[in-house]
Structure formats: C-alpha cells, structure tokens
Structure 1
Amino acid sequence: MTAISGVEFLVWLLIAASIIAVLTKYLRIPYTVALVLGGLLLSVLHLPFLSPLQPNQRPNWLTPDVILILFLPALVFEGSVKIDVRDLLRDAAPLLVLANVGVLLATLVTGYLIHWAIGVPILIALLFGTIISATDPISLLAIFKDLKMDKRLSVIISGESLLNDGTAVVLFQIVLAGALAGGLSARNGIAQFLWAVIGGAVLGSALGYAASKITQTIDDPQIEITVTTIVAYGSYLLANHLHLSGVIATASAGLIVGNFGAKRGMSPGTRTALESFWEYIAFVMNSLVFLLIGLEVHIDSLTRAWRPVFFAIAAVLIGRALSVYLLVPMSNFFGEKIPLRWQHVIVWGGLRGALALALALSLDNTFPYRDRILDFTFGVVVFSILVQDLTMKPLLKVLGLAVGRA
C-alpha cells in the first residue's frame, strides 16, 4: 500500500488530537498522557478508518531531520517569547548553573548508571542522557497557576527549561557525532560546545533585534506575526547551517522579540494576537509530538523491557537530584537563595516531554540501540507525567507551598 500524502497524515493526527482533547475534559487526565495513550491505541487498532495512521502508511518526508526542524523552533520560540528577561536576570546564577553544569552532570550520572546497570555501550548511554536531560514544565506550570504558587518559583522552573533545551540539544549533537564516529574528543567537544552556544546566542539576538526593528515600522498584526514566524524558523535554520545551536539561536531571538520588539514596537492588539498565535502553534506541535511517540513505540517491546526501563527512570531521577542538590546550594552564594523546599519541587518537577521525544524520534531507523533509547525515553516521559506530575499537588501541600485551591 502506498504512503498517504503528508497533508492527509497531518490532518488525521490533528483529528485524533482534537478528539483526545475533548475527551480529556471529561476523563480528567492530563492531555499529554491522553495523547500518548491515544497514539498507542491508534497504533494497535487495525480498523479500516484508522489505516492512514498505521506505520506503513506514514509519509516518506517525515524524516528524522524534518521532525526536529518542524517541532523544535516553534516550541522553543513560544517558550522564550513570553518570558520576562528581568525575571531571568534575577535568578541568572542558578539558572545558568542548572542549565549548563546541571545538564552535563545529569547526563553523565544518567549515562554511567545506565551503562553500569544495564550494560548499554557508554556512548549510547550518554546519548540517552543528553536526550532526557531537558525538562518540560508545561503541565507543571498549569498546576502552579492553579495553586497560586510564588511567581519566582515558576520563573525558575520555566527559565531553566528554556535554557537547558539549548544545552541538551548541543550535547545531543556532540555525543551523537561521537557515537557515529566511534569515539569522543574532550577538547573538540568543549570547543564545539562553546562555539555552538555563544555563536547561537549572538546570532539569535541579532536576528531577534532585526525582526523587532522591522515590526516597529509596520502596524499590521498579520505581517508582524509572519515576521516572528520567519525569525523563529530562520534563526534555527541559519544557525544550523553555520554549525551553531539552532535551539539557542531561536530562544535568544524569542527573548529579544518578546522583551523588546513586542513591548516597544507592537500595539496591544498585535501583542495579544501574537501570544494567541504562538500558544496555538505550541499546542499543535506538542500534540503531534506526543501522538507520534505513541504511534512509534511498540508496546510489546516496552513490556519486555520493563526492567531496564525501570533502571532508566531511576538513573534519570538520581541524575536530576544530584544536579539540583549539589549545584543550587553553590549558586545560592551568588544571589537570592533558593530554599530547600523549592529545591525538592525543582527535583520532582523536572518533567520530561516534547523535546526529549523529538530528539529520540529524530534518530535514524538504522541507528544502533534506537529501539532501546525509544523505550527508555517513552518510559521516563510517561513516568514523569503519570507519577511526578500527578503527585505534584500533594507534594506542594506537604511542603506547605500550596496556597490556592486544591
């Protein structure tokens, strides 16, 4: 049977996402959980009207590179354009430490624990460590808003996620190249990391500033939103072409557009339209990513691998705990202290989501241990949503941090 067109495939995914979104209103389960479960259900039900979503019917253009290019710029730009840079600067020390040293430490701990406990080759284990090191606070921030949590804690959670996305992707690319080449060079890796991070930040800031100046000369919401779309994807593509970090370039561009262009060069109506547009785009992209992981993972493989998946979850939690409990107290010397109760929330609130899934899915089908990495990633993401997310409210109450409604 020939593959259906890409447009038809996406339409089917959106239909599935819309139905699941409506059902979650009545079932009272997290939308992201429902999407993954829905994807799994669609992959095992061989009903005639669901045939377009079967594995052998997926479009040929949905390659690993397309998955990254399609999803990451939109998700990263939406996350950065709505953050107040003044809030980030207030907690610059802990955010920078967690997003850089913390990601590296968590990657090393996770990788070596998996290598030791499961016997996966060290470079493959470290590659998984990079994939799973980025956090995704979407559902967590909704809980914070519902319980009227301290704004600073929300900024720390969302700011760390924004910054560690870029670090995780750069480390992923470095370790992936090493795995394909059969070895890593520490000197070359450090040089490549600094070049990608610093260069990406400079390029993205410059493009964000240029886009902001353009929107100042235009008073048309549709054109201004189009300019932001161009800079979101353009900064990512140009940075990758120059061997810089596309994620960091897009995040930097989003920060500049959100804090300079939108506030100084856009009317209130345009700013509202801009926020609504990017919120919708992020909703669509997150929906597609979570559905795709459900469609991609084989349930029988995950069931057979329950023991190594359990070890992977434990390794990720240990890596997260060490990175927070070791590094945050050090960063407390350089700014306003983050109390221990908040550190507990930061550890348990290190949810994994769309970026981890996108990185795992981006691995070529012929990549060694790809299925094992997908099993690990799927298991950790589902655990973080089903267990960590659903137990966050009770934890906040036990810690005496919840002040809003239950």
Structure 2
Amino acid sequence: MVEFGRLSWVISAWMGQAMGSAIDVAVDERKRMAHQVDSLDLLLFVCLLILTIVTLWTFKRRRMPYLHESGLAVIYGLIVGLLLSFTGSPRSESSLFIDNAHSAELFKFTEMEGPPNQLLVSVLLPNVSQPKTYTYEFKSQVDSEDANDPIKQKATFNAEIFFYVLLPPIIFHAGYNMRKKHFFDNMGAIMAFALVGTTISTFVIGLVMYGVSRLIQEIPLKFLDVLYFGAIVSATDPVTILAIFQDLHVDPMLNGLVLGESLLNDAVAIVLCSAIEEYAKVSLNGGDLFEVDALLLTLFKFFTTVFGSIGLGAFIGCLTAIVTKFTQLRDYTLLETSLFTLMSYSSYLFAEICGMSGIVAVLFCGIFQAHYTFTNLSDESKLRTRQFFETLNFLAENFIFSYLGVSMFTFSKHYFNLFFILGAFVAIAVARACNIYPLGMLMNLGRQQKIPMQYQHMMWFSGLRGAMAFALAVSNTATPVRQMFFTTTCLIAIITIPTGESSEEREELISDYEQPMASLPSHTNRSYLARRWKGLDQLYLKPLLTHGQPTLMETLPKELTFLGRWFTSDMQLQTQSREALGPRNGDEMMGTSAKDQDDPPLLGVADQD
C-alpha cells in the first residue's frame, strides 16, 4: 500500500507538471501570435508611411501640388482599412462570454464609476485542485462578430499611445520651430483668438448641436455631452494651409495669426474638455442642471490649469537654458542633445502628474527652448535637435492621419447618425465665424496695424480639423454617445482635409495675400503686450538665460551688480571684452561672437529678435 501510495503521488505530481508545462506552452504560443499580429499592424502603418512619402516625392518632382502628405495618409489609410474590413484575420482569438444577467451582483457598478478596470477571473484547470486567478484589463466595447478577430482588435490602439508617444513631439515641434517674431508681435490677438475664441466656438457648437440632438430620439444627449463635443471639434489643424503659406510667402502677420492661433487653440481645447469633465464630476446632479458653485469651481480649475501649465512649461525651458549656459555640455554634443530631449519631454510628464495639461506645457516649453536654450547649444546640437524633432513630427502626424483612415473601417463601434453629422458640419462653420469676425472687429479698435477683413476670411477658411480633434475623440469610445462623437469627428477630418488641400480656389484665395518678406511689421506696430514682453526679455531674461549681450551686470541696478555677476557666464564676459577691444581685435581673440550664434541662418529654428 505504501508503494502504491508513492506511485500515485509521483503520477499526480508528473501530471501536474505536465499540465503546467502544457499551459506554459499554450501561453507562450498565444503571446507569440499576439506579437506577430502586433508586428503585422506596425508593418502595415510603416508601409502606409512609406507609400505616402514615395507618392509625395512623385508629386513634388512632377510639380503636382494636389495633396499635402496628411491628405495622402488619410486616403491610403481608408483604402487599407477597407481591405481589412473585408479580409480580416484567418486566425481567431479565444474568448469567454460572461453574461451580466446571471451575475448581477458581481458586475454591478454605478454610472459614475463605469466598467471595472480589471476582471479577476478564477479558472479551474483540468487535473488541478486549486483554481487559478487571471487578470483581464478593460479595453473597450466590441461587437460580438468582431470579438475574435485579432487584426481588427489590434488595429484599435490604446489612446495613451497618442497622448504619450505621438502628440508630445508634434506639439513640441510646433513650438520649437515657430517663427517667434510673428508670434510675439501678434501675441494679444493670438491669445484672444485662442482663449476667448475657442471658448466661444465650443459654446456655439454646443448650442447648435443641442438643438440638433432634439431630433435624435435613440440616444439621449445632455447639454454637457454636446458641449464636450464642441470642445473636441474646436481644435483646428491648419497644417496644409500653412504649407501653402510657406510656398507662396504670404504676409507674415497672416501667417503668424493662423499659426499662433492654431497652436494655442489645440491646447485650450484639451483644457476645455478637462474642464467640462470636471464640471460633470463636481456637479451634484451630474450636470443636468446649472449650478453656480460648480461653474465657479470649474472656471477656477480651467484658468489654474491653463496658466499653471504655461508656467510649468516655461520653467522647464528656462531651467534647460540655465543648465546649458553654466555647464560645458556643449563639449559633449550627444549628452547635450539627449539632455535637451529628455528635459523637453519631462515638461509633458510633470504637467500630467500635477493634474495640468501636458500639451500646453510641452508647447510653451518648445517656445522657450527655441527662444533661449537654442542659443546656448553647440552648432551640432542645434542641427541635431532641429532635424530630430522635425522627423518625429512628420512621422507621428502622418501616422495619426493613416490611423484615422484605417479606423473608419476597422473600429468596431462606429455610430453613424445623419442628423448629427450634418448638424456638426453646419455648427463648426457657424462657430468659426462667431469666433473670428466679432473678435477681429473688437481687436481692430485698439490695434495700430489692423487685421484686414480678407485676413479674417482666410482665418475662418483655415479652420480644418485634424490630429488633435481625432486624438480627443478616440480617448473615450466606451458609450454610444462617445462613439457617435468619434465617428462624426473622423468624418469631419476625413472630408475637410483632402478636399481642402486639393481646392484650386483655396490656393487662388491665398495667393491674393502674397506679400514680399520685406513687409514685416515694424516694432511700432507691436501690440502693448508684445512691447512689454520685449522690454522684459531684452533687459533681464536673455541676459540671464543666454550667452547674449548685454549682461545682467549692465541691465540690473547698481545695487544688484554682484547678483548679476553670479548669473553671467564666462562666455558673456569674453564677448564683452572682445566688444570693448573693437571688432577687429575681438574677432582675432574670440572668433564668432555669442550674438552671432543666436540667429543661425542655415538652421532657421529660432528667428531671434
């Protein structure tokens, strides 16, 4: 009996090990197939980008400016998505359907909580006495016919990839590569269009769509829902218009207004989305009725988020400038470039950790990096950072547009409503007009250099929807309401981008504003805010953060000269001595001055003023 017991124990142990080994083999095989599907999806998008680049090169070589690369990426994405919707995957994934009706207590949750983030499922395996617990994470709602198709499931990327991987380099490049002179000369108008105008656009779209929602019976829409949709589609992306501006050399004021307004517009739209969500969270009735206390708290949160994010991004930019000014990192260009990249990306992460807007922070970090840190970098690092972020921006932006086209056919929960879609097109046109024309008229009352009505027409015309609106819409598609928002946003972007780029009338309209580059606005035409910023920048910020002249020892009061010496670099002192000796002797001693490094003519990243 003892021998038989031992034999039984050995057989049971062996069977348990065999079962464990079989499970390991099955899990390894499943991960291998998942890795293969992920590789296939990434290869698909890489091929789309390659095809877009080759087609764009063909158009440029043959001088056929029919489409911008974003339009090509959308069109190719639509074609591939259509093919995927018909072909799918020959392999299916295993799934276990748990009926909520038979386990109501287990899966009960409130409307505010939403579905659980994780499911802990206890599974009893064959020949195993104790059940094993496995974790399953929440992803999204799916159709039953698409639940087992790995291609369609994997083609729907996690929204965190957009916000942490794709959007930061796009926004940072926009700030880092911006023509700062045009931005600061029109700072007041840009802030008004971006901050006040985007808010007006959000509420106008919300009011129009709330009226349209009365015609939609199958989905009940609250005012906060349509207001959130208004914030999503208020984010504009005039990348194609700006490309035409660059080719035709339009008036710099028009270029600065369109570019600056679009940059801050995206940031404000994100903060507005967060503010609307905050109002729904603090409201006692879920946002169904107006509450003054909740509104005041939301407004406070909105302004603290906007200006806190601006301050944080500016602080990171200034901190990077100080580090590069008072260290010898320029002697190690790889370390210098790496530190610059990591400090810039950290502004996004710090803002998100602090509950602020990472997009706003990284945008202003890019602006301050270009204005101050860029002048402290070595020539090699200047070229590296410019090319690196330009390449990242190109690939990330076209990846988003490719995915936009693919998702129209692979996303399993599109919700098409004709009334809502048509109403959205009307609403964004009306809201854009309510944004541009009244604000333009009010600002012309106090501007020395007026914004012509033709320029206002062009600003209204350039309000395309693109990457930012799509990213905001794809961040949450768990309910039919958000699925309808996502579908409508995709259609708006897909229709406006390619048709807007191929319009000959648009190019003729823009060409009416073609001006020689010599028509830059003079210093006397700057706004009051720009003039105040200019004085602060020249007297204190540039001497503190760069190697430029004059130094803080010259600009600070005599009582604080000792403090100015602490923040004056050796390069500034050497440049000061060289200028005191005269240009010829100074050139023999020092070579190129620090001031010459502020505006490298070949790089064009920062047009120092």
TM-score by length of 1: 0.89
2:261 paired with 1:160: yes
- CA distances 1:182-213 after superposition (whole Å, capped 9, x unpaired): 32721111011111011111111111111122
Assess, with a 3 A threshold, how the Cα gap between structure 1 residues 196 and 253 changes in structure 2: closer, same or farther. same
Q: What does residue range 80-159 of structure 1 map to in structure 2 within 5 Å? A: 80-119=175-214, 120-159=221-260
Contact 1:293 1:361 in 2 (8 A): no
Aligned residues: 398
Q: CA deviation at 1:247?
A: 1.4
- Greater mean alpha carbon deviation, residues 16-25 or residues 178-187: 178-187
What secondary structure sits across from 1:20 in the alignment?
Answer: helix
What secondary structure sits across from 2:383 in the alignment?
Answer: helix
Q: CA deviation at 1:84?
A: 3.8
Assess, with a 3 A threshold, how the Cα gap between structure 1 residues 37 and 387 changes in structure 2: closer, same or farther. closer
Match of 2:399 in 1: 288
Q: Which amino acid aligns with 2:152?
A: P
2:455 paired with 1:342: yes
Q: Choose between structure 1 and 2: higher helix proportion.
A: 1
2:449 paired with 1:354: no
After the TM superposition, which segments of 4 or more aligned residues of structure 1 sit over 6 Å from their partners? 48-53, 299-303
Contact 1:297 1:374 in 2 (8 A): no
Q: CA deviation at 1:353?
A: 1.1
Q: Which amino acid aligns with 1:246?
A: G
Q: What does residue range 268-307 of structure 1 map to in structure 2 within 5 Å? A: 268-298=379-409, 305-307=417-419
Contact 1:134 1:168 in 2 (8 A): yes
> Of the two structures, which has the highest relative contact order with CA contacts closer than 8 Å and spacing of 6 or more?
1
Contact 2:324 2:377 in 1 (8 A): yes
- Greater mean alpha carbon deviation, residues 289-298 or residues 248-257: 289-298
- CA distances 1:12-47 after superposition (whole Å, capped 9, x unpaired): 322221112212444643321221222222222145
Q: Which amino acid aligns with 2:401?
A: F
What secondary structure sits across from 1:45 in the alignment?
Answer: helix
Assess, with a 3 A threshold, how the Cα gap between structure 1 residues 205 and 26 changes in structure 2: closer, same or farther. same
- In 1, distance between residues paired with 2:413 and 2:498? 20
Contact 2:415 2:487 in 1 (8 A): no
Question: Residue 71 of structure 1 is aligned with which of 157, 166, 175?
Answer: 166
2:46 paired with 1:14: yes
Tell me, which stretches of 5 or more residues in structure 2 are unaligned?
A: 1-29, 60-65, 92-148, 215-220, 517-609
2:302 paired with 1:198: no
What secondary structure sits across from 2:34 in the alignment?
Answer: coil
- In 1, distance between residues paired with 2:363 and 2:248? 28
Match of 1:328 in 2: 440
Question: Residue 393 of structure 1 is aligned with which of 507, 515, 521?
Answer: 507
Q: What does residue range 23-34 of structure 1 map to in structure 2 within 5 Å? A: 23-26=55-58, 28-34=66-72
TM-score by length of 2: 0.61
- Greater mean alpha carbon deviation, residues 250-259 or residues 325-334: 325-334
What secondary structure sits across from 2:35 in the alignment?
Answer: coil
Assess, with a 3 A threshold, how the Cα gap between structure 1 residues 320 and 145 changes in structure 2: closer, same or farther. same
Assess, with a 3 A threshold, how the Cα gap between structure 1 residues 323 and 139 changes in structure 2: closer, same or farther. same
- CA distances 1:309-357 after superposition (whole Å, capped 9, x unpaired): 2221111011011100011111223332111110000000112211111
Q: Which amino acid aligns with 1:70?
A: V
Q: Which amino acid aligns with 1:164?
A: N
Assess, with a 3 A threshold, how the Cα gap between structure 1 residues 262 and 160 changes in structure 2: closer, same or farther. same
Contact 1:200 1:244 in 2 (8 A): yes
Q: CA deviation at 1:284?
A: 1.1
- Greater mean alpha carbon deviation, residues 33-42 or residues 278-287: 33-42
Assess, with a 3 A threshold, how the Cα gap between structure 1 residues 303 and 194 changes in structure 2: closer, same or farther. closer
Match of 1:189 in 2: 298
Tell me, which stretches of 5 or more residues in structure 1 are unaligned?
A: none
- In 1, distance between residues paired with 2:263 and 2:43? 29
- Greater mean alpha carbon deviation, residues 197-206 or residues 325-334: 325-334
Contact 1:68 1:359 in 2 (8 A): no
Structure of greater Rg = 2
- Greater mean alpha carbon deviation, residues 197-206 or residues 31-40: 31-40
Q: CA deviation at 1:96?
A: 0.7
Two-structure CA RMSD over aligned residues (Å): 2.7
- In 2, distance between residues paired with 1:352 and 1:48? 30
- In 2, distance between residues paired with 1:338 and 1:53? 53
Q: Percent identity, please.
A: 25
- In 2, distance between residues paired with 1:49 and 1:372? 26
2:356 paired with 1:234: no
Q: CA deviation at 1:83?
A: 1.9
- In 1, distance between residues paired with 2:390 and 2:89? 31
- In 2, distance between residues paired with 1:280 and 1:163? 22
Q: What does residue range 250-269 of structure 1 map to in structure 2 within 5 Å? A: 250-263=362-375, 265-269=376-380
